[in-house]
Structure 1
Amino acid sequence: MVLAGMLVLVGLSEPALAVVKDPALCFGDAKVAADRRIAACSVIAEDVTGASSLRAKAYFFRAMALDDNQDWDGAIADYGEVIALDPKQTSAYFNRGTDWSNKGDDDRAISDFNIVISLEPSASDAYSSRGSAFLRKGKVDAAILDFQQAIEADPQNGRAHAELGSALAVTGEQEKAIAAYDEAIRIDPTDVTALINRGIAHAAKGGFDRAIADYDTALGIDPR
């Protein structure tokens, strides 16, 4: 009877151990396996008796771990939980918008980036991300305006310069596109995409030697 009782107690204790809160694991090193972080954050996020600020933080970190697993749907749902608990959490809107983009839903991405910009008008990354979504939808003028806004908010936003170059190239303004790529490469000399695109723009203008030089530089950085 004693032995049987001990077995029952051991069986009951295992779930209790499984739900011990571990904020350090949830909020800690992103190099820890995503599944472990997801499990740790779940205990905190789903505890309805916990403080809303702590639960929002746990949902946010769980969403980022889900992003690491490329579980866009799961991450989007968790960012939604963050927003429900903290409607002015701009990072949640931005990350959710990025995940909508990852899923190819640029309309919903733009909607989330709109909210980020309304809450934080100087959010350079939100302008450049919305611009990228506009560009994918073929709304080139809107994209150019957003990339320019992103650069005005943060002149060191290399992605905005590079994407502005891509948008200008679509309009046929290769000289302006090259100037935009120049800035992107000045900010990040290892930006392979900007180097390749600048090479394409040079080639479109007949500058084949410059194009080859850009392609060679890109291959030197990333032979793949």
Structure 2
Amino acid sequence: MTASNKQSKQKTQAVLLEAERQLALDQPSKALELYNQVLAGDEQQFDALIGCGRALTALRQYDFALAHFNFALGLQPQAAIAFHYRALAYHGSKHFDEALMDHQQALALNPNEISTYLNLANTLTEMDRFEEALEFYNGVIDMAPQYAIAYNNRGNLFLDQRMIEEALADYAQAAKLDPGQQKFRWNQSIMHILLGQYEQGWPLYEAGLGIQGFARGLRKQVPQPEWLGKQNVSGKRVLLYAEQGYGDTIQFCRYAKQVQALGAEVILEVQAPLVSLLQTINQGSTAQNEIKVVAQGQGFAEFDYHCPLLSLPMVFNTTLETVPAPIPYLHAQPSDHVLLEKPARPRIGLVWSGSTTHKNDHRRSLALAALAPLLALPYEFHCLQQEVRAADAELLGQLSAITLHQAQLKDFADTAALIAQMDLVISVDTSVAHLAGALGKPLWLLLPFVPDYRWLLDRTDTPWYPQAHLWRQPAVGDWNSVIAAMAKQLQHFPSPS
């Protein structure tokens, strides 16, 4: 090997090591840039191809990730590592059958890789193959009793089956084995909140927010100090910022009034499509007492303190009995985009599916065909969701019972104006459900067997939206019995039992 070749190889290895370090620091974009530097000099550099695929998987660019892994396997068809990471990309894109096959192939090539057994169990969990997943988790824990993530993930499996005590025990063991891992304390918080144990849950919920973010989002990095209820904010400007999804912002923006009641000048920094809607939080306020609503990304910097929206339940020591529910706290404004004629029959707004990128979407959403018992009833149905999946599009085109409005819904203010003209909203767990709840509209909410933490367990009501009625799956995946019961009750609309 010549001196220049040796130097080039050393440089390549240094770049690969730095890229690996950036991946470990949860900086996939920086890692991707470094891996691409290597590939620019050698497009067949195997480690860089695998690294690019890993970084792209972390960035949720699954198709590009799979292309890199496929190319790498073309170079080294028996590389267990390529099957291992391609399985993770398939898993992330919810192609669970392909992920399962790749996990199995990786184990056939390298049966000593414990993380592959763990990831195989994770995929079986998503496929609702409980017994098989449990067997693999138990096997991993037998092989490595100090492997904290195995307890955490087995806890997720137990939670999916509503085995509450087992899930709590596993999350606690994971946190004990690795007390510095935020994810484990975050999962403990979710369990406590789901069980209505808000006093324990909300403080632990802070573990989900960090500089990189993984569960809640990113903590704001600005010169001004963070406010979590300790400092006196009377006469101060407090920026409350959204750090999760649209529904979370709609649900928790109600706390802005409580911060304002402390004497603070409140600024709400939210996603741009929510700005017009959230400005209605000021309805009935004087000009001197209005909450300022600004869009994310505008660089608003005129404040003294900042606080993430979903930290406010902890700040105000929220319990089940003290959830602030001044319904409605948001208001619909008339919109020419969605102005409907006088109805001849009761109007029902429908949302049957949410964003496909939601991590639990395959459990919370349902196929349009499942709503057939409802659509057979003599009511006027309106689609409130903007996205219609390809699997539903053909059927939707054949249905005269549902009126579409996607082209008219420019932002959430338009959706609010449409909801205001409904007599009832029936929705799966999406931002539209939160919007209907915040507007005070009668809401029937469809929930999977294990719901999102905010909906608690078993109850048919919720302290967050007192006018809502919750319809829960009696078993994993059982929407049919829920829809049948709802159709029966709908015949006696408008009052659910």
Q: TM-score, normalised by structure 2?
A: 0.34
Closer/same/farther in 2, CA of residues 192 and 94 from structure 1, 3 Å limit: same
Aligned twin of 2:33: 35
- Looking at structure 2, the residues matched to 94 and 164 of structure 1 have their Cα atoms a distance apart, in angstroms, of 20
Give the Å deviation of 1:181.
1.6
CA-CA distance at 1:79 after TM superposition? 1.5
Deviation for aligned residue 1:220: 5.7
Pair member with larger Rg: 2
Report the Cα distance in structure 1 between the residues aligned to 2:150 and 2:125, rounded to whole angstroms: 12
Superposition pairs of residues 2-81 of structure 1, within 5 angstroms: 23-24=12-13, 26-30=15-19, 31=22, 32=30, 34-46=32-44, 55-67=45-57, 69-81=59-71
Contact kept in structure 2, 1:25 and 1:37, CA below 8 Å: no
1:97 and 2:87 correspond = yes
Cα drift, residue 197 of structure 1:
4.2
Residue ranges of structure 2 left out of the alignment (5+ in a row): 1-7, 23-29, 210-307, 311-497
Aligned match of 2:187: 194
Structure with the higher strand share, 1 or 2: 2
Residue of structure 1 aligned with 2:138, choices 148, 156, 159: 148
Q: Which residue of structure 1 aligns with residue 122 of structure 2?
A: 132
Change (3 A) 1:178 1:28: closer
The equivalent residue for 1:217 is: 204
- The letter for the 2-side match of 1:177 is A
Q: Offset of 1:171 from its aligned partner?
A: 3.2
Aligned to 2:128, what secondary structure does the other structure show? coil
1:28-47 deviation line (CA, Å, top 9, x unaligned): 4124563353143143134x
How far has the Cα of 1:221 moved from its partner? 6.0
Structure 2 partner of 1:17:
none
Contact 1:181 1:198 in 2 (8 A): no
The residue identity in structure 1 corresponding to 2:192 is G
Instruction: Give the length in aligned residue pairs.
Output: 191
Distance in 1 between residues matched to 2:128 and 2:88, nearest whole Å: 18
Corresponding letter in the other structure for 2:52: R
Q: Distance in 1 between matches of 2:96 and 2:207?
A: 34
SS of 2:146's partner is coil
1:72–1:99 CA contact under 8 A, matched in 2: yes
Alignment correspondent of 2:245: none
Q: In the alignment, is the contact (CA less than 8 A) between 1:90 and 1:119 conserved in 2?
A: yes
TM-score under structure 1 length normalisation: 0.70
Which consecutive residues of structure 1, in runs of 5 or more, have no partner in the other structure?
1-19, 47-54
Is residue 66–residue 75 contact of structure 1 (8 Å, CA) maintained in 2? yes
Amino acid of the residue matched to residue 60 of structure 1? I
Q: Give the 3 Å change call, closer, same or farther, for CA 162–68 of structure 1 in structure 2.
A: closer
Q: What's the RMSD between the two structures over aligned residues?
A: 2.9
Gap change, CA 1:171 and 1:28, over 3 Å in 2: closer
The aligned amino acid for 1:131 is: A
Q: How many Å separate the matches in 2 of 1:78 and 1:68?
A: 14
Higher helix proportion:
1
Percent of residue pairs identical = 18
Contact 2:168 2:191 in 1 (8 A): yes
Cα pair distance change 1:112/1:29, threshold 3 Å = same
Q: Per-residue deviation at 1:136?
A: 1.5
What secondary structure does 1:29 align onto? helix
Q: How far off its partner does 1:88 sit?
A: 3.4
